[in-house]
Amino acid sequence: MLKGRTAFVTGGSGAVGAAVVRCMAGHGARVAFSYHSQPEKALALQEELCAGGFDVRAYPLDVLNGAQAQHLAATIEQDLGPVDILVNNAGLTQVMPFALIEEEDWDLMMNVNVKGMFLVTKAFVRPMIRRQRGAIVNLGSLAGVRVLEVPVHYATAKSAVMGFTLSLAREMARYQIRVNAVVPGLLTDGVSEHVPDKQRIDYEQHCTLGRAGTPAEVAELVAFLASDRAAYINAQAIQVDGGL
């Protein structure tokens, strides 16, 4: 499905990011991914996949450093070839009530989840524009599109992912670059680990499939949207929530 393609995944050392890296490599892509705070996990993932015969490279990146992102885009092109798939997965959350959110907490959430996505996309989309080819998949969250008991600053940041996706998709269409978002619900790993048991039980009771999803299930949709099989899918935010 992705043979001959080169993909870059931000936040590849996290649960969903690692699943996306594994999935895309399994579908035949050369995969570069970034890490920031978990170098041991990132290098272990690289070693695991390379030992399996896949072409996977891990690179350190601060998504808030635009110059570093631009340099990395050039480096990956030299190491693996032109990047024609970008997956904006890097992000973080904080579990705290609105009254306790400080200005620095708000700024951190907006910076990592929104500004970082902007800076990385800007660095990697320019070569795509020159080549008139590409696919971008942004990782959102059900917190940004549904009424849920979640941290307000996190929900706000993930709502911004939707606006970014729709507007960018419209502008990039003229360059044959598709932009979509994947919107996961409750998962068994990743940021969902911070969800209190009471909310987890409530989610599973209202979910038609009666369970949390897995990062691997999210990764399969990401890989599909990045492939030519989804050539007529653009400007969409597809929920992977088990039917909530």
Q: Which residues are identified as catalytic? A: 154
Give residues with Cβ within 8 angstroms of 120, minimum separation 6.
10, 61, 63, 69, 86, 88, 90
Spatial contact of 12 and 20, defined as CB atoms under 8 Å apart: yes
How many other CB atoms are there within 10 angstroms of residue 65's CB atom?
A: 15
> What are the structure tokens assigned to 48, written together?
């695991």
CA pair distance 177, 53, nearest whole angstrom: 29
Beta-carbon contacts of 104 under 8 Å, excluding residues fewer than 6 positions away, are none
Element containing residue 183 per DSSP (H, E):
strand 177-184
C-alpha distance across the termini of the chain, in Å = 29
> Residue 53 CA to chain centroid, in angstroms?
24
CB 71 within 8 A of CB 59: no
**For 81-151, where are the alpha helices, taking DSSP H only?**
103-110, 116-131
d(Cα 167, Cα 190) in Å, to the nearest integer?
28
Alpha-carbon span 29 to 21, nearest angstrom: 9
